[in-house]
Amino acid sequence: MKIPFSINDFLGVFENYNLSLWPAQILFYVLALVAMVMVIKNGPQSDRIVFAILAFFWIWMGLVYHILFFSAINRAAYLFGAVFIAQGILFLYQGSVRQNIRLRFILDAHGVIGIVLILYALVVYPLFGHLMGHVYPGTPTFGVPCPTTIFTFGILLFSLNRIPWFCVLIPLLWSLVGFSAALNLSIKEDFGLVIAGILSAVILLIYKPRHQVKQ
């Protein structure tokens, strides 16, 4: 698939985004850590908080990254932005309002894969990118779509019950779209995105729920 921008254009978007919004990147790391603590803590409001954070991430990416920044080089960003905002609303409604998705920190196979994806998104992704020559500020940081989608899958893998398929569809589709762009532009740190998307979708949508939720 031919993309309508060059690697320099693409990295230039990240440079503009990072310089314009610093120190928002620190806030995203703090929120990611809060989400992890809430999953581990498993308090009465933990799931609501976690999905409110995920909702904020996706609405931010849709409105700020896609519509305000990425649209400068790709008109499709307006569509991407709308879809990301819709995903954020889904997380807010299904996870925080209706609490249809229950999370538990359990170190079974699902949980271990979840931890690996979270660590990849927060730690390995930026280090790998640096090794590939993508130096801040002209590099994807946590809070933009690809690493944040990987983090999202990591959190969802702690789900105790079956996740509604429509809550997984947009992140899965983005993992394919993002990988296509990464392949064309040789953004090797994004190659993990498609692995995270397909593996997580299989686990979340095909395998049986980990445990029955106790009422």
Average pLDDT of the chain to the nearest whole number: 93
CA pair distance 126, 78, nearest whole angstrom: 26
Give the pLDDT score at 210.
63
pLDDT per position as a tens digit, 5-52:
899 999 999 999 999 999 999 999 999 999 999 999 999 999 999 999
DSSP 27-43: HHHHHHHHHHHHHHH--
Residue 208, sorted as left (phi over 0), alpha (psi -120 to 50) or beta, turns out to be beta
| Percent of the chain surpassing pLDDT 90 | 84
Domain boundaries, the chain: 7-205
CA pair distance 144, 14, nearest whole angstrom: 9
Give the pLDDT score at 208.
61
Task: Please give the model's pTM, rounded to 2 decimal places.
Answer: 0.94
Give the pLDDT score at 180.
86
Is residue 213 predicted with pLDDT exceeding 70? Answer: no
Q: Find residue 144's DSSP bridge partners.
A: 142
**Tokens 């990301």 belong to residue:** 84
